[in-house]
A and B are shown apart, each in its own frame.
Chain A
Amino acid sequence: MNFLLLAANQQTPFSYLPVAIQLLVGIGFVVLTIGASQFLGPKRSTADKLINFESGIPSVGNARQPMAIKYFLVAILFVLFDVEVIFFYPYAVNFKELGQEGFWAVIMFVAFFLSGFIYIVKKGALDWED
Chain B
Amino acid sequence: MPVQYYLFLSLALFCIGMMGAMMRRNAIIVFMCIELMLNAVNLLMVAFSKMYNDAAAQIFVFFIMVVAAAEVAVGLAIIVMMYRKVHSVDINILNRLKH
Contacts and interface: CB of A to CB of B under 8 A. Distances in A.
Q: Are chains A and B touching directly in their complex (CB below 8 angstroms)?
A: yes
Interface of A: 1-2, 4-5, 22-23, 25-27, 29-31, 34, 69, 72, 75-77, 79-80, 82-84, 86-87, 89-90
B3 A23 contact: no
B12 interface: yes
Contact of B73 (A23, A31, A79): A79
Contact of A90 (B20, B59, B69): B59
A72 B97 CA distance: 27
Contact of B72 (A1, A4, A79): A79
A2 B8 CA distance: 12
Interface of B: 2-4, 7-8, 11-12, 14-16, 18-20, 23, 59, 62, 65-66, 69-70, 72-73, 76-77, 80, 84
B66 A26 contact: no
25 contacts: A2-B2, A2-B3, A22-B8, A26-B14, A26-B15, A26-B16, A27-B15, A29-B12, A30-B15, A30-B19, A34-B23, A72-B76, A72-B77, A76-B72, A76-B73, A79-B69, A79-B72, A79-B73, A80-B69, A80-B73, A82-B69, A83-B69, A86-B62, A86-B66, A90-B62
A91 B19 CA distance: 38
Contacts, number: 64
Tell me the interface secondary structure of chain A in the complex: helix
A83 B19 contact: no
Nearest to B66: A83
Contacts of B7: 4, 22
A123 to B, nearest CB: 13
A68 B20 CA distance: 30
Q: Determine which residue in A30, A79, A90 has the highest number of CB atoms from chain B within 10 A of its CB, and name it.
A: A30
Instruction: Pick the 5 closest A-B CB pairs, nearest first.
Output: A26-B15, A83-B69, A30-B19, A26-B12, A76-B73
